[in-house]
Structure 1
């Protein structure tokens, strides 16, 4: 029997008067129904269900069978086997290698990290407004009832769901709750025992998710709870990790919106859910646009994946639309796709096209819209078929990318080792000439350092100029967009009408337009910065190799300046404009950014190379601020004048007033300042690393030339040959996969 009092008090957490107002009856009627729940008839139950967004099954506590788990072919096992073969090769040979030499030891460590990093499973994030049915969909895909579901918004922490075989040996429990630092919880470090212990709040069966991760849980109010990791046995988890994110728009914890928005940055595919009976209404579409912006664009004509193949926009609970009438559901999807396409500014679609060379039309966008319900297999089969295709295709793309990256790195290492070998041979033959050459290099070091310090100062001055230019450019763009005249013209050109939905869409479009402008301004300046950074690195390389080829056969110290510079980015959280630079480095940039924690498919896009792929590095800038301001503006619109005459001007003034109230221009200016602050810090970190690595190389070569005996040199030649042989025999299998 339906217990109305418990439902109102424990689930909805509202008073009798508020509930009476919600369902449209007098309070005394609610009081009588709570005292005598057996008197509640079917029509009243339906009224309560419609008012609270629940199904009759949920109200009376009926539990449906969870659909069978999504069946997929485990094609990831080839990637896993490839990784284990390579790691085993390292482990079996490591004790025989001359790792006393720091350089050789670093080569082996870099290879091990690369093998671990490049074979990460893709992450599929399930996002959307609260009560969209995210946890229910995940339970259905898994084929097990593990994610907590209820009448009210439930998940309030990000839950990372992994396959049981991926669980480290030291973790014994099914689920663990973690706290995060100011930068959040880093799920990529969970295999580190020390990090696990430092961040663990609680562990046990999956039931602890209800205690820490739901609004009804005993420990829900503990703000330290940042994420949970769950290990389960399910076919879909053989191909990907699934992330259940907090629902957008709950209103009770701002951190949920921020967490959900930021977590999508690390997702390779996104399933965005919105209830079919209110599909993409209100602020819902704003959150979808945030998810779109964070999505890596890796599709192209070579791998034959369709535009936005890793985005699934779901009309959930589709059975509520006239008992699941497919024609009506498709009509809702058509209208939603059209509305979404119109509300995304052309700049964002152009940036996507720049990466993939696809044209993003409304027809292509509509292909990414699906219906879903656990009640009707016919309303979810298209979604399941396309999700299955993506998950079974991604392992081949990831494998091909890893194969390309490893071969490039191995070739680079072997070339550097061959140079080292030649140097040792020449030390034996012409030691005096080498000593003289080395002496000249050392004598030139003070001047080289002075010149590079001066060049470094010039780069910093350029960054400050870029800061000023971007601030001025953005202020001009912002003033043009957030103005009554622009907004009135926008209302006319978009054909917006005097109704609440259209006004929300108008405010949403304006927010996206602003974000697109700030991204493009920073993108163009980052392109200019790229030229300056590359020139700085070229000048450094020219200076250190000044005496590489003298009249006497000179030697060239094997030193990769670009890689050494990039190594300085490894330990910092944000790169600013240097993220754009790193993303133009092809496989090197892909490796750096994946090691940092971006989605593995972002690395696939980046590894293709070229400035176009670097758009990904800029696409997230201003996202959380834009989202927060947009939602506030939409909600702040409230009730506006819909009377005759001048309504367009009134609406425009109201929007301008809301942006002023939110201090939006100042907040966006702070985003730009932070971007360039991060750029300065990243450049200094990279320049420091470059100088430090060069000094190590120079000192090592000085020791070899000055102090090695002939026997020492011969032994060193033997060790170099041993390292070359080790790399040449690396068991990298032939990869005949989908082009990336």
Structure 2
């Protein structure tokens, strides 16, 4: 709820201390919520308005309307149409089911598992320190309040938001909470394969609960009633939403990084494990104190993990899937200060990572990465002032709508063509092997007959050789015992030991 609590409080002449006491929170939390009213939970907002004596209908009518979410369209519609045709062709045709071959050939049906991977949309991952406004940013991109937001820290599970059209028919509700074992492969390693979500048996085994968006408040945030331990074990929340953004990507909100050695460190483990699935990375850092030392360390690692679509498409912009967002860019920061904040932070980051992560990416992409390239990847965000987030929205929309689909489709075309070429060569090699076998089959039969007739003689020779080896082992064992005994008797002789002591040691005692 984007309500001006501060204005109402000042009009009523009520202190922040009184509000804090009435809500059962600290004065610092009241100050934070007055600065970022959109982060106030619904239940707290209603109680807050009651304390201020303000009618909720009045407050709602004066609420600042949220920005519309990103609408990148459906950039993969043509790709999915082509994949559907290929799948249909495989389903409607049988490939040599009646032919028994001595060696198993890979047939077009084997392509279906690979094709299913091609249906997966790119993942836009939001990460950063806790209380950096990631969930609020995610809600703004979606154009609706889906994810819980609150005062430090909020998110406690990995939250994967997908378009409602991809929800399985048997999925009961909009939200599902799953345990960590859901993502483990046959070797026990975490593998964030979204095809697992289509496996009904796997989901029913590892889903803790299905339900409405209320589950996110229960399992997904730290402020839920600590006395209720029923939310333990939740690792990931799967959320299905009807939002235009999700036509072009999945949105993944990670738990925030913490510098504290407490229970929040478990969230960091989850965040680290899931960053590897990012196709596009949005790193949130508050505009005040933008990009500190801890951010530098995290960004160094994240930049190394980020995919390189530049290698698939020559006109893909350098670092085009990398966004560093200065969140909480509120009106207390003058307009002319924001560019300075971004420029200073980008210069520090470039200097810090130039010889490590940036150089690593130069080698991967075979591109020069300049200070200006890094500077272009810094953006501001404050939803109440569209001019402070419009560039971020425009750039991300362009990326999801036009820029990113090119390398994705290019990679898929290249891999499918490679499969065609490989299979053609594979079949040609197999045919050649069969022809050679048929041509020499009589020769191979004669060799087999000869070997079968010679088998008794071969067995006799093998028994004789085994006997000789056993005899030699026993003789060597006997010689070894005898030589060691002679050596030992010489070394433990009294005269030899006395002579050794006199020669080697000054202190003969």
State the TM-score, normalizing by the size of structure 2: 0.72
Equivalent residue, structure 1, for 2:327: 316
Q: Superposed, which structure 2 residues align to 1:82-101 within 5 Å? A: 82-94=82-94, 97-98=97-98
2:424 is the alignment partner of 1:418: no
Equivalent residue, structure 1, for 2:305: 294
Match of 2:197 among 165, 190, 197: 190
Q: Superposed, which structure 2 residues align to 1:635-650 within 5 Å? A: none
Q: Superposed, which structure 2 residues align to 1:3-14 within 5 Å? A: none
Q: Superposed, which structure 2 residues align to 1:294-693 within 5 Å? A: 294-300=305-311, 302-322=313-333, 325-344=334-353, 346-392=355-401, 393-435=403-445
Distance 1:138 1:56 in 2: 16
What is the DSSP-based 3-state SS (H/G/I as helix, E as strand, rest coil) of the residue aligned with 1:326? coil
Distance 1:191 1:290 in 2: 31
Equivalent residue, structure 2, for 1:248: 257
Q: Superposed, which structure 2 residues align to 1:92-111 within 5 Å? A: 92-94=92-94, 97-98=97-98, 106-111=106-111
1:222 deviation in Å? 4.4
1:419 deviation in Å? 2.6
Asked if 1 retains the 8 angstrom alpha-carbon contact of 2:279 and 2:321, the reply is yes
Q: Which moved more, 1:107-116 or 1:236-245?
A: 107-116
1:427 deviation in Å? 4.4
1:118 deviation in Å? 3.2
What is the DSSP-based 3-state SS (H/G/I as helix, E as strand, rest coil) of the residue aligned with 1:230? strand
Q: Deviations over 1:548-602 (max 9, x none)?
A: xxxxxxxxxxxxxxxxxxxxxxxxxxxxxxxxxxxxxxxxxxxxxxxxxxxxxxx
1:423 deviation in Å? 3.6
1:94 deviation in Å? 3.4
1:168 deviation in Å? 2.4
Distance 2:172 2:299 in 1: 37
Q: Deviations over 1:7-40 (max 9, x none)?
A: xxxxxxxxxxxxxxxxxxxxxx987666689xxx
Change (3 A) 1:346 1:410: same
2:172 is the alignment partner of 1:166: no
Q: Deviations over 1:107-134 (max 9, x none)?
A: 3453111111234211110011111111
Change (3 A) 1:51 1:419: closer
Change (3 A) 1:127 1:405: same
1:329 deviation in Å? 0.8
Equivalent residue, structure 2, for 1:270: 281
1:281 deviation in Å? 2.6
Asked if 2 retains the 8 angstrom alpha-carbon contact of 1:308 and 1:368, the reply is yes
What is the DSSP-based 3-state SS (H/G/I as helix, E as strand, rest coil) of the residue aligned with 2:162? strand
Equivalent residue, structure 1, for 2:138: 138
Equivalent residue, structure 1, for 2:147: 147
1:311 deviation in Å? 0.5
Change (3 A) 1:31 1:273: closer
What is the DSSP-based 3-state SS (H/G/I as helix, E as strand, rest coil) of the residue aligned with 1:246? coil
Q: Superposed, which structure 2 residues align to 1:60-99 within 5 Å? A: 61=45, 64-94=64-94, 97-98=97-98
Q: Size of the alignment, in residue pairs?
A: 410
5+ residue gaps, structure 2, are 7-14, 46-58, 182-187, 455-509
Equivalent residue, structure 1, for 2:179: 179
Asked if 2 retains the 8 angstrom alpha-carbon contact of 1:185 and 1:226, the reply is no
Equivalent residue, structure 2, for 1:546: none
1:191 deviation in Å? 1.2
Q: Superposed, which structure 2 residues align to 1:102-121 within 5 Å? A: 106-121=106-121
Change (3 A) 1:54 1:256: farther
Equivalent residue, structure 2, for 1:479: none
Equivalent residue, structure 1, for 2:459: none
Change (3 A) 1:102 1:129: farther
Distance 2:5 2:398 in 1: 44
Change (3 A) 1:431 1:300: closer
What is the DSSP-based 3-state SS (H/G/I as helix, E as strand, rest coil) of the residue aligned with 2:86? helix
Change (3 A) 1:102 1:109: farther
Distance 1:316 1:139 in 2: 13
Q: Deviations over 1:426-465 (max 9, x none)?
A: 544442135568999999xxxxxxxxxxxxxxxxxxxxxx
**RMSD between superposed Cα atoms in Å:** 3.4
Q: Deviations over 1:37-84 (max 9, x none)?
A: 9xxxxxx98x76556794356568376433212111211111211221
Change (3 A) 1:436 1:258: farther
State the TM-score, normalizing by the size of structure 1: 0.51
1:250 deviation in Å? 6.4
Asked if 1 retains the 8 angstrom alpha-carbon contact of 2:4 and 2:37, the reply is no
Distance 1:281 1:389 in 2: 29
Distance 2:84 2:124 in 1: 24
1:106 deviation in Å? 4.3
What is the DSSP-based 3-state SS (H/G/I as helix, E as strand, rest coil) of the residue aligned with 2:336? helix
Distance 2:111 2:451 in 1: 31
1:215 deviation in Å? 0.6
5+ residue gaps, structure 1, are 5-28, 38-43, 444-740
What is the DSSP-based 3-state SS (H/G/I as helix, E as strand, rest coil) of the residue aligned with 1:286? helix
2:61 is the alignment partner of 1:55: no
Asked if 1 retains the 8 angstrom alpha-carbon contact of 2:290 and 2:341, the reply is yes
1:286 deviation in Å? 2.5
Match of 1:210 among 211, 217, 229: 217
Distance 1:438 1:229 in 2: 61
Equivalent residue, structure 1, for 2:185: none
Change (3 A) 1:250 1:350: closer
Asked if 1 retains the 8 angstrom alpha-carbon contact of 2:130 and 2:258, the reply is yes
Equivalent residue, structure 1, for 2:471: none
1:369 deviation in Å? 0.2
Q: Deviations over 1:507-529 (max 9, x none)?
A: xxxxxxxxxxxxxxxxxxxxxxx
Q: Deviations over 1:681-722 (max 9, x none)?
A: xxxxxxxxxxxxxxxxxxxxxxxxxxxxxxxxxxxxxxxxxx
Give the number of the structure whose residues are more often helix, by fraction.
1
Distance 1:309 1:220 in 2: 42
Change (3 A) 1:98 1:333: farther
